[in-house]
Amino acid sequence: MEIVRSYPISSSKYGEGSTQNSFKTPLGNHVIKEMIGNNAIKNTIFTSRINTKRQAEIIHDEANQLR
């Protein structure tokens, strides 16, 4: 297998972490099994892999960023 691109992401609103039952994205290497949203508008919200046709509000104010 060849790594073509690598992106640091978290797919959970709770961030990343390995604590059981924390609802955080577990740390480690993950493999994309299937791509969805190829023609979706940037910042589109997906719920259970379904395009909601809504865009996420991106917070640019550092005081409101999750830490």
What's the helix, strand, coil split of the chain in %, to 5? 5, 20, 80
Q: Are 50 and 38 in contact (CB under 8 A)?
A: no
Q: Which pLDDT score is estimated for 66?
A: 56
Q: Which pLDDT score is estimated for 10?
A: 63
Give the whole-angstrom CA distance, residue 1 versus residue 9. Answer: 21
Place of tokens 């299937």: 34
**Segment-wise mean pLDDT, segments of 10 residues, the chain, 67 residues:** 76 85 85 85 90 88 61
Give the whole-angstrom CA distance, residue 32 versus residue 15. Answer: 19
